[in-house]
Amino acid sequence: MKPVLVRQHEETTPPGLLVEWLRERGIPFEVHPSWDETPNPEEYSFVASLGSPYGPNDTHDPGVVEELKLIGAAVEKDVPVLGLCFGGEVLSSVLGGRVERAPAPELGWREIETDDPGAIPAGPWLEWHYERFTTPPGAVEVARTADAVQAFRQGPHLGVQFHPESTVEIVAGWAGADVENLAALGIEDGARLLAASPERQEAAREAAFRLFDAFLAQAATDRSENSAGDAGGKE
């Protein structure tokens, strides 16, 4: 089995629960920092692109440009992409969607409205973003809040605006570094947005594992259908 390629864009945005899930399921993986050499996506079973303080419109940053190229190559070669927040924004951009300033930032815990709760649970989810993606042309919007699309699918690809991979400890680091933006919103203590009981944190972990399982199953189904179609075309 080919390994999974996990794209990490900052030291402060580790894969967290995604790596826990990969290890628990016995799935090989490689975590590649996006500031290193860009790998060939065809060497991997799927690509997971994580969060970043940048957005896909920040093309002054070389790492953003490289990620747009890599995700574009993955889509072109039918390598499934799991885009998480920034990764979802990059996926939307590559597929012809837009990334724009959100009418209100989504910070802390959120419940979402979902059309497919078995694959995209309603939450609880951790969010930390000031921009939002649109559903690309030809994709299917799966979930939303009043302020942003939260999930879309196109073929084997899935983009989400929330952070199923992140824990309270990870996002607390972002809140601690985001003092200026929070102050402008009248928020004195970002950590308070993340307060959660152990039960809620465990529910978020279980929701993340369901989402990752469903993504993997959909990617396998899409791959089988494509293989069958290719075989049929050769008869």
Residues marked active site are found at: 85, 163, 165
Name, in order, each residue with C-beta under 8 angstroms of 105's C-beta and a sequence gap of 6 or more: 129, 130, 181, 185
Token pair of 88, please?
């979802």
Token pair of 108, please?
């802390």
Name, in order, each residue with C-beta under 8 angstroms of 74's C-beta and a sequence gap of 6 or more: 41, 47, 80, 81
Q: How far is CA 76 from the centre of its chain?
A: 19
Q: Are 26 and 176 in contact (CB under 8 A)?
A: no
The size of the chain, in residues, is 235
Name, in order, each residue with C-beta under 8 angstroms of 22's C-beta and a sequence gap of 6 or more: 4, 28, 29
Q: How many Å apart are CA 196 and CA 212, to the nearest integer?
A: 22
